Structure 1
Amino acid sequence: MAMQRRFAVNHSDVFPAGVEMKGEVQPVADFNAPKREDGSRPQQLDKETGLPLWQVVVTDRDEEAGKNEAGVSVKIAARVQPVPPSPVEVTVPGMGSMTMRFIEFVGLTALPYVDDNGNRPRLAWSYKADDICAPGKADVATPARPDAGKAA
């Protein structure tokens, strides 16, 4: 029998080599709700807390990650948009200097499900977190925002 609810996981267990944030924190559009007059979609609300859902897309830095795990989306339920840590300047041999934003998830949970959108079904994971912070700061920021994971 499959688990029917989320369970807590450590950031370091899911992402042992860390993650790099891609883009910005974005609101999750509610595709089940009717469109607004301007054609946009309202923001999806978390079923457990009633808080707005935000999405962060990260690149798994683990060399062993498969192609399906390289880009991972993690949702965050919060009254206000989570603020990521500042980017850092990194020098990559042969590519020069580039700006990267490394983050760590606070209060990370996972939910397994069967993804049957390909040639054959596979086990996939849905991730949700309470917040984001700079790597190594999750223990200090548990959670970093007082409203994380709590209904208004």
Structure 2
Amino acid sequence: MAIAKRFEIAHEAVFPQGAYLRGIVEPVADFQAEKRPDGSRPQQRDKETGLPLWQCTVIDGDEEANRRELGVTVKFAAEVQPVPPKNTSPMPWTPVKFAGLTALPYVDDSGTRPRIAWSFRAKGFATAGQEQAKSGEQKAAA
């Protein structure tokens, strides 16, 4: 079978009613590595590319999303911290669109009954009128 585990998917297929950044883009802590002397954990790295992993939480704009699907984590493998677009909306959350979005289904058996869950990765943020913003074009966060 030629279907890869992780597959490309259009932003609109995952977030047909939009996605809204809640909080910031932050490093993914590596819980498999030993703690540093100061007690912090090193940043997790992508197993395929070796690049540092970053993550953000977005709110799914779909009115029918259940509470498990309302807050979605999207990860990035990038040398520098991806920078989201500036929030010019009147909302407290920044409307975002992801470039190079991929999905990986897995079985989440942490609840009372197993369910299919999704792991999302993106190459970067896309802005209105822009098809893609490649991760190499992202600016380092100040």
TM-score of the pair, normalised by structure 2: 0.89
Q: Percent of counterpart pairs with the same letter?
A: 55
| Shift in CA distance, 19/30, structure 1 to aligned 2, threshold 3 Å | same
Letter in 2 for 1:116: D
Distance (whole Å) between structure 2 residues aligned to residue 132 and residue 84 of structure 1: 6
Letter in 1 for 2:102: T
Pairwise CA distance, 1:22: 0.5
SS of the aligned residue for 2:56 comes to strand
Number of residue pairs aligned between Structure 1 and Structure 2: 137
Distance (whole Å) between structure 1 residues aligned to residue 54 and residue 132 of structure 2: 22
Query: What stretches of structure 1 move > 3 A for 4+ residues in a row?
Result: none
SS of the aligned residue for 1:47 comes to coil
Distance (whole Å) between structure 2 residues aligned to residue 47 and residue 37 of structure 1: 25
RMSD: 1.8
1:145 equivalent in alignment to 2:131 = no
Q: Contact conserved, 2:82 with 2:135, CA < 8 A, in 1?
A: no
1:116 equivalent in alignment to 2:106 = no
SS of the aligned residue for 1:104 comes to strand
Q: Report which of the two structures shows the higher radius of gyration computed on alpha carbons.
A: 1
- Look up the match of 1:95: none
Pairwise CA distance, 1:133: 2.9
Distance (whole Å) between structure 2 residues aligned to residue 114 and residue 59 of structure 1: 22
- Look up the match of 1:84: 84
Distance (whole Å) between structure 2 residues aligned to residue 87 and residue 146 of structure 1: 19
Unmatched runs of 5 consecutive residues or more in structure 1: 91-97, 148-152
TM-score of the pair, normalised by structure 1: 0.84
Letter in 1 for 2:77: A
- Look up the match of 1:69: 69
The structure where helix makes up a greater share of residues is 2
